[in-house]
Structure formats: C-alpha cells, structure tokens
Amino acid sequence: MPEELLQPFTVQLDFTSGLLAPDPVVLDRRLSDMQGYFLEEPAADALAYSVHEIHVPKTSNNLLSSTTVLAPGKVGNEFFMTKGHFHAVRDRAEIYLTLSGQGLLVMATEDGTAKTLDMTPGGASYVPGHWAHRSVNTGDEPLVFYAVYIGDAGYDYATIADEGFPVVVVDNGQGPEVVENPRYRRS
C-alpha cells in the first residue's frame, strides 16, 4: 500500500457547459493574456477560454484531466484558440474527447511538422508524445472538450509563445482554412 492511498471519486461533468461539480480548479484565459499569439492583436478584451481541472497529484502514476470551454469568436480573421503547449516531459501523451461544439485540433512537432484533426462531438483524438497541441473553435457555439493526460506531463508554453505553430486557422470567407503561419519561428 502506498503511503497516501487516494480515495476513488466521481466528478459530474456537464457536456454542454463543461462545468465540473465539484469544481476545485478553474483557470481563465482572456485575450489580454494572449498578447502575440494571434496574427493581429485583439482590438478588445474578452474571455477566450476556461479550464476546469480535476485535482489529483501531478505524478506519473496519476491521470490528470480537465474540461476546456473555448468561446466562439475571431481576432481579425483568425478563430479563437488556446495558447497551446508541448508537454514539459515531451513524450507524455494526451487524449482529447470533444463534448460539444466544432473545432480543429492543431498539432506540431519540434521539427515543424503540422497535423490537424477535426473536433466534433464524440470524437476522441489521440495526441502522442512530442506533439504540441492547441484547439481552435471554428463554430458559433462554445467548443467543449475533456482532456486526459499523464500526471507529470507538465506544460511548456514558452516554445509556442516564441515560435507559434507552423499553421494557423483562419476564416477565408467561406469557412475555416488551415494556412501557413507567416510568423512561425519569428523569434
């Protein structure tokens, strides 16, 4: 028996709102927290997304999980998105289960290979280790997904903050389009 035996528990998850009950950890990201992430700077501030995390110890024997609620909207012609990150421990994998809304899961390796997958309700996407990941809301409703990842994965936001992703998702007037990021590795 381990020194500190965790007790099993259940958290209620609302598939539409992404709310958890009980909801011990919430992180809000506003557009003002995302300076430099979009091709244009946001003209006004707004809540971009909230993360509701189920709290367990951040160790390799636990599975961390969270819901993310990403608002619909655009900055210029670029859809609202999460900051995106590599895992600090690069080989740690993650599963994204889309609960409601429509979006794209944008991924990239350190050598600049990009991959995007549709996010639609019921879609369970596997993000292998070594792939940075970001979600993009291409719809008119909140994009809500549940993510599960190895507890000691950690976050490396700095690499994405410095370099961006190789591709961005823009509205071309007829719908979402994945295009090359002209500012990739701008630093």
Q: Give the gyration radius of the chain's Cα atoms.
A: 16
Q: Can residue 107 be called a binding residue for Fe ion (CB under 5 A)?
A: no
Q: Which residue has the tokens 């899961």?
A: 105
Whose Cβ is closer to Fe ion: residue 133's or residue 169's? Answer: 133
- Min dist CB 2 to Fe ion, Å, is 26
- Min dist CB 163 to Fe ion, Å, is 17
- The residue range among 26-34, 51-59, 63-71, 91-99 that interacts with Fe ion, by the rule CB under 5 A, is 91-99
Whose Cβ is closer to Fe ion: residue 94's or residue 163's? Answer: 94
Q: Can residue 82 be called a binding residue for Fe ion (CB under 5 A)?
A: no
- Grouping H, G, I as helix, E, B as strand and the rest as coil, residue 162 is helix
Whose Cβ is closer to Fe ion: residue 38's or residue 96's? Answer: 96
Q: Can residue 68 be called a binding residue for Fe ion (CB under 5 A)?
A: no
Please count the CA atoms within 13 angstroms of the CA of 163 that sit on its side-chain side: 18
- Min dist CB 4 to Fe ion, Å, is 25
Q: Can residue 163 be called a binding residue for Fe ion (CB under 5 A)?
A: no
CB-count exposure of residue 43 (10 Å: 0-12, 13-18, 19+): exposed
Distance CA 144, CA 69 (A): 5
- Grouping H, G, I as helix, E, B as strand and the rest as coil, residue 161 is helix
Q: Can residue 94 be called a binding residue for Fe ion (CB under 5 A)?
A: yes
- The residue range among 46-54, 60-68, 90-98, 160-168 that interacts with Fe ion, by the rule CB under 5 A, is 90-98
SS (H, E, C) 23-63: CCEEEEEEHHHCCCCCCCCCCCCCEEEEEEEECCCCCCCCE
How many residues bind Fe ion (CB under 5 A)? The answer is 1
Whose Cβ is closer to Fe ion: residue 147's or residue 170's? Answer: 147
Question: Contact positions toward Fe ion, by CB under 5 A?
Answer: 94
